[in-house]
Amino acid sequence: MAVTIKDVARAAGVSASTVTRALTLPELVSEETRERVRRTAESLGYHPNRAARGLITGRTGNIGLVVPDLGNPFFPSVVKGVQARAHEADYAVFLADTDEDATAEAGLVRRLSKQVDGIVLCSPRMADGQLRALAAETPVVLINRRIARVPSVVPELGDAMRQAIGHLTALGHRRIGYVAGPRSSWADRERVRSLRLVVRDKAVELVEIGNVTPQFEGGVGAADQVLAAGVTAVIGYNDLVSLGLLNRFSARGVAVPGALSVLGFDDIAPAAMVTPALTSVALPKEHAGRAGVDLLLRLLAEPDRSSAIRRELPTQLMVRGSTGPAPV
Amino acid sequence: MAVTIKDVARAAGVSASTVTRALTLPELVSEETRERVRRTAESLGYHPNRAARGLITGRTGNIGLVVPDLGNPFFPSVVKGVQARAHEADYAVFLADTDEDATAEAGLVRRLSKQVDGIVLCSPRMADGQLRALAAETPVVLINRRIARVPSVVPELGDAMRQAIGHLTALGHRRIGYVAGPRSSWADRERVRSLRLVVRDKAVELVEIGNVTPQFEGGVGAADQVLAAGVTAVIGYNDLVSLGLLNRFSARGVAVPGALSVLGFDDIAPAAMVTPALTSVALPKEHAGRAGVDLLLRLLAEPDRSSAIRRELPTQLMVRGSTGPAPV
DNA sequence: CCCACATGAGAAACGGATTTCACACTTGCC
DNA sequence: GGCAAGTGTGAAATCCGTTTCTCATGTGGG
């Protein structure tokens, strides 16, 4: 069916080995042969079978990408970045969505691991131990999670928090709520940690509210608690949560930002679509995806030297309509 | 490194061929051998190398999925459906995002085609001819596009339009705008066609407005034209466009739905997040993804009988706050 | 008791590409 | 002129599993 190396070899009047060499190790064959082989390969429309190649080289030319939920616009953005960078490097991408399920995650990763050269795990939900075990047997890069000796890409969260809190305090807010995400989420623990750190030496009181699912519904459900907490500004675990808050506030007739300012994380597209638009700390998404692939490629090339790499990517506060001066 | 069939064979004291048979053609080996082999395989954690198997069977166990833009929430939903169904059938999914570029699309598809058993093309942008040529050499299923002799999954668009127009006319709207999407889009052409058809025998005037990119910005940009057109209701090409309209209307102080009703297509998540929430005709997304994989699997199993299959999936009008009685 | 036939399992071929090994043939130097 | 080093190429081994071919054993029938 498909044109194989033998077809090219026959057509070019050389052996299969020469075809390989002409295409992948140019310096080993004469200029003349190389050109002839290349032309015949071209004219026959030959492309090496990656599976067959992978069998012998041990490289598949594929990378795996695992995300918790494509329904959260954050992740498709990361996927886009991964895609783009992977294709540039001539890698194809296997995608798996775990539906926020740590068990499914482990299973999918294991299934993937044998068909790919390495895996980019975005916001993994599985336990540290599992993750470490996994990284020991397969090249793995983490996005939005940090574990010793596993390369990772994370946002500059401290800076993000300073921007967020700085913005709110400048507006006069002194009592600020934080609607926490899933307890099992590394990102949430980090956010809380950073927040507390940033808040410590400011005259700001931080009110931590419940743990919600990192979705719109989570925010909707937490909104009334936020109102009851008597804060003048609230930060949601992520934009979906903050959008949920906004939605419920609007339904209850709470003026935003008049009575209450709302701020989110991620800067997903819908943040700019609502009215008032959501002020949000933009976390790297496509950028993180690209950086994740970069790290993975480096890890594949020189495993020893790159296992400790930890990249922190910059964040940026996008000030929009949902934050304003604290009510007097 | 990984445990191969030979390791199992040695451990079980049989030949490699027997291992294969025990695992894939149980009726060819004795009960006793079969069990012994299976147990050793299990205990060694053996899983056949898919690439090697694919080499000889011609099946890779992978399917390709190509979408135009993961940035549009519509597509991640389809991806989720594809994922879910594919994993159920023990297939892995290669994903590619074309960034709405027909040329890139053709290239990506060609690259993918050699590593997968078949491809699900979601809302492809390439020309009919190319698509037909492609389908001739690779098993392909289309989502949101219809071409003779290529299996496809499409929404029941006629019904969708009847629901949309029925809803608006019941609210008293007589002059309705339609903000068209990309001219190259099959979906847009179909929507226009259906709309005209549905409108024909009703006392409704349809005003078609420009062609915009199928994104939020497209809607924002078209909003003022919509206002100038003097309609009492407007239907956007998709939800992103409609959300753009809503956003701009809000900015210009146009009351929705008081002065103008807005309706969209797709029912993406953000539609329910804005205020007023967007009334939208829900098109099958996850469902379409699942159905696409189903069709592809059938196509792989019996190519002759299934090439003509065209599945139409039901749609559902989600009435929300953005539509109301026509102003008097 | 022998033959035809079914059954179970091993050996070998195969799929497509890469890599190692081996072999001609140049070329260069003493 | 002869030997060593180097260059270009082909043959064969290899990757891992599946499939075909073959053979040995055992069963039933005549």
- Give tens-digit pLDDT for A50-92: 989 999 998 999 999 999 999 999 999 999 999 999 999 999 9
Host domain of residue B270:
157-283
Same domain (yes/no): B172, B147: no
Contact of B264 with B235, CB cutoff 8 Å: yes
Q: How confident is residue B77, by pLDDT bands cut at 50, 70 and 90?
A: very high
Instruction: Tell me whether residues A80 and B73 touch, CB distance under 8 A.
Output: no
**CATH code at B26?**
1.10.260
Q: Which residues are within 8 A (CB) of B22 and not within 5 positions of it... i.e. 6 or more apart?
A: B14, B29, B33, B34, B37, B38, B41
Residue A274 to chain B, least CA–CA distance (Å): 5
Give the least confident one: B18-27, B39-48, B71-80.
B18-27
pLDDT of residue A262: 98
Is the domain of A141 the same as that of A242?
no
Give residues with Cβ within 8 angstroms of B44, minimum separation 6.
B3, B7, B8, B11
Q: If pLDDT is split at 50, 70 and 90, which confidence band does A1 have?
A: low
Stretch A166-171: mean pLDDT: 96
**The pair of three-digit structure tokens given for residue A269, joined into one six-digit string:** 């597209």
Closest residue by Cα to residue A304 from A118, A110, A139? A139
Is residue B305 over pLDDT 90?
A: no
Tell me which residue in B55, B77, B95 faces A95 most closely, judged by beta carbons.
B95
Q: Are residues B192 and B271 in the same domain?
A: yes
Decide if A324 is inside a domain.
no
- Quote the pLDDT of residue A308: 79
Question: Is 70 exceeded by the pLDDT of residue A118?
Answer: yes
What was the pLDDT predicted at B131?
A: 92
* Residue A60: CB less than 7 A from any atom in strand C: no
User: Residue B1's pLDDT is what?
Assistant: 65
Percent of chain B whose predicted confidence (pLDDT) is above 70: 100
Higher pLDDT, B1 or A93: A93
Contact A51/B55, CB-based, under 8 Å? yes
Domains in chain B, number: 3
B80 vs A2, A70, A246: nearest CB? A70
Report CB contact under 8 Å: B87, A71: no
Structure tokens at A222: 């937490």
A55:B55 CB<8 A = yes
- The reply to whether B55 falls in a domain is no
Number of residues assigned to chain B: 328
- Name the DSSP letter for residue A147: B
Closest by CA to A301, choosing from A88, A118, A172, is A118
Same domain for B212 and B109: no
* First-residue to last-residue Cα distance in chain A: 77
Chain A: give the shortest CA distance to residue B201, in Å.
36
CA A127 – C1' D15 distance (Å)?
35
Question: Could you tell me if A271 and A169 lie in one domain?
Answer: yes
For B273, which of A49, A70, A247 is closest by C-beta distance? A247
Q: Is the CB of B115 under 7 A from strand C?
A: no
- How far lies A253's CA from each of A248, A321, B229, B250, in Å? 9, 16, 33, 17
Compute the distance between CA of residue A183 and CA of residue A178 in angstroms, rounded to an integer: 13
Interface contact flag, A79 B95, Cβ < 8 Å: yes
Measured in degrees and rounded to the nearest 5, phi and psi for residue A94 equal -90, 130
Is the CB of B28 within 7 Å of strand C? yes
Q: Which residue of A has its CA nearest to B79?
A: A70
Question: Is a pLDDT exceeding 70 seen at residue B180?
Answer: yes
Shared domain check, B196 and B247: yes
Of A252, A177, A249, the residue nearest A209 (C-alpha) = A177
What is the pLDDT at residue B114? 84
In whole angstroms, C27 C1' to A53 CA is: 36
| CB nearest to B114's CB, from A49, A55, A62 | A49
**Are A243 and A162 in a shared domain?**
yes
Q: For residue A187, name the pLDDT band (cuts at 50, 70, 90).
A: very high
Asked, for residue B321, whether it belongs to a domain, the answer is no
Give mean pLDDT, residues B141-168. 95
- For strand D, the positions having any atom within 7 A of a protein Cβ are 7-12, 14-20
In a domain, A325, yes or no: no
**pLDDT tens by residue, B254-277:** 999 999 999 999 999 999 999 999
CA of B28 to C1' of D30 (A): 30
- Interchain contact, A93 vs B94, CB within 8 Å: yes
What share of chain B in percent tops pLDDT 90?
A: 72
Residue B326 lies in a domain: no
Are B253 and B147 contained in the same domain? Answer: no
Within-domain flag for B325: no
Together in a domain, A161 and A151: no
Residue A148 to chain B, least CA–CA distance (Å): 25
- Tell me, what's the pLDDT at A137? 86
Contacts of A162 (CB under 8 A, 6+ apart): A198
- Subunit contact A275:B270, Cβ cutoff 8 A: no
HSE (side-chain half, CA atoms, 13 Å) at A82: 33
> Nearest-CA neighbor of A78 among A243, A319, A317, A266?
A266
Question: Which residues of chain A have a CB within 8 Å of the CB of B92?
Answer: 94, 96, 111-112, 115
- Long-range contacts: B269-272, Cβ < 8 Å, 24+? B269/A71, B269/A73, B269/A216, B269/A270, B269/B73, B270/A269, B270/A270, B270/A273, B270/A274, B270/B73, B270/B239, B270/B243, B271/B239, B271/B242, B271/B243, B271/B318, B271/B320, B272/A216, B272/B318, B272/B320
Average pLDDT over residues B161-184: 95
DSSP H helical segments within chain A, as ranges?
A: 5-12, 16-24, 31-44, 50-57, 74-88, 102-113, 128-137, 157-170, 186-200, 216-228, 239-252, 286-301, 303-306
User: Would you state the pLDDT for residue B24?
Assistant: 86
Six-digit token string for B315: 């749609």
Q: Which alpha helices (H) appear in chain B, and where do they start and end?
A: 5-12, 16-24, 31-44, 50-57, 74-88, 102-113, 128-137, 157-170, 186-200, 216-228, 239-252, 286-301, 303-306
Picking from B183, B185, B184, the residue whose alpha carbon sits closest to that of residue B210 is: B183
The token pair at A243 is 């959008």
**What are the φ/ψ torsions at residue B64 (nearest 5 degrees)?**
-100, 150
Mutate to test the interface with A, among B111, B240, B273 (most CBs of A within 10 A): B273
Are the Cβ atoms of B76 and A70 closer than 8 angstroms? Answer: yes
Nearest nt to the CA of B21 via C1' is D18
Say if residue B176 is in the same domain as residue B206. yes
> What CATH code is carried by the domain that includes residue B127?
3.40.50.2300
User: Considering the domain boundaries, does residue B112 fall inside one?
Assistant: yes
pLDDT in tens, A209-243: 989 999 999 999 999 999 999 999 999 999 999 99
* CA dist B155 → A128, A225, B190, B194 (Å): 44, 41, 11, 12
Residue to substitute from A87, A115, A268, A320, interface B, most B β-carbons within 10 A = A115
Whether B30 sits with its Cβ under 7 A from any strand C atom: the answer reads yes
State whether B115 and A92 contact (CB < 8 Å): yes
Mean pLDDT, chain A, whole residue set: 93
* Contact of A94 with A114, CB cutoff 8 Å: no
Q: Are residues A145 and A256 located together in one domain of the fold?
A: no
Starting at the edge strand found earlier in the chain, the sheet holding A279-282 runs: A205-211, A175-180, A233-236, A261-266, A279-282, A316-318
Please report the pLDDT score of residue A26 as a whole number. Answer: 75
Kindly state the percentage of chain A with pLDDT values over 70.
100
Q: What is the pLDDT of residues A242-280, one digit of tens each?
A: 999 999 999 999 999 999 999 999 999 999 999 999 999
Chain C bases having any atom below 7 Å from a protein CB: 7-12, 14-20
* A43 within some domain: yes
**Do B178 and B278 belong to one domain?**
yes
